[in-house]
Amino acid sequence: MRTAKIGSFILFFLLSPAVALSAKDLSDFPLRVVILWNHWEVFNVPTGSSALPTFVHKVNGRGNVTEGSTVRAFDFEYRGSLNIASAPLDRTYFARWKKPQQVLEILMPAIGHEGKYTPCNLETLVRPGVYVHSSQGVIEKSQDDYKIWQAQQNAPKPPPPPSQPATVSKLSVSSNPDSADINVDGEFMGTTPSVLQLSVGEHTIALHKAGYAPWQRKMKVVAGDINLNADLEPEKPK
């Protein structure tokens, strides 16, 4: 098996293609492994016979292994017939140490065979921190920083601020006949028909048109759409 250098260290992921699918007692695999990042390539390896060549997958990646309450980061390189890159990221795998801190055996679920697994031996270089997803990709945090980060991720989200009541009303003012001047609280606001935006509250609406008696109404304007129609009476001769 060839070796590959990852940064300043060397590690290997070995898989025997002859390993058969089998059922496992999951209680024998107390560790949990998560693959957060991987990069894979496929190579054809000649068999030296008339048989078809063997496909070998080479995968570099990063993950975390959880043992009890302790989480540690690790890097790996995998070479074998199993395409580990086809597994969804962040899936949790059952695992156990074959050699503490150096060789992990993880169980890859067999596609189409529920309850069956393919065991894989993973030689690891365990790192002191913990890997997390970030805007810069997968980065390593110290154990202390990871605990702070994890607490922030698990903290309950603050409830959204209560919705503020609407403070504006649309007042549609029309008159019969139209073209009457509209005054709101003594301020000219246009002529009928018009749609006015008024603050919620009490307002005095007055309409004036030459030849007609002044029309006035004090009203409490609420949020929403309000229609106001005024029938103007001809001005009485003096």
DSSP-assigned states of every residue in 172-202: EEEEESS--EEEETTEEEEESSEEEEEESEE
- How many other C-beta atoms are found inside a 10 Å radius of the C-beta of residue 226? 15
Closest alpha carbon to 84 in 48, 129, 122: 122
- The model's confidence at residue 71, banded by pLDDT at 50, 70 and 90, is very high
Domain with CATH 2.60.40.10 in the chain: 168-231
Model confidence, pTM: 0.56
Highest-scoring range by mean pLDDT, 44-58, 71-85, 131-145, 163-177? 131-145
168-231 CATH choice from 1.10.760.10, 2.30.40.10, 3.90.600.10, 2.60.40.10: 2.60.40.10
Instruction: Kindly report, residue by residue over 116-135, the tens digit of the pLDDT.
Output: 888 888 888 999 999 999 88
Q: What is the 3-state secondary structure (H, E, C) of 13-29?
A: EECCCCCCCEECCHHHC
Report whether pLDDT(201) > 80. yes
Please check the confidence at residue 172 and state whether its pLDDT lies above 60. Answer: yes
pLDDT at 101 over 70: yes
Average pLDDT, the chain: 82
- DSSP conformation class of 164: P
108 burial type by CB count under 10 A (0-12 exposed, 13-18 middle, 19+ buried) = buried
In the structure, what pLDDT confidence band is assigned to residue 162 with cuts at 50, 70 and 90? Answer: confident
What is the C-alpha to C-alpha distance for residues 132 and 150, in angstroms, rounded to an integer?
10
Is the confidence at residue 207, as pLDDT, over 90? yes
Q: What is the pLDDT of residue 88?
A: 58
pLDDT of 4 above 60? no
Residue 80, helix vs strand vs coil? strand
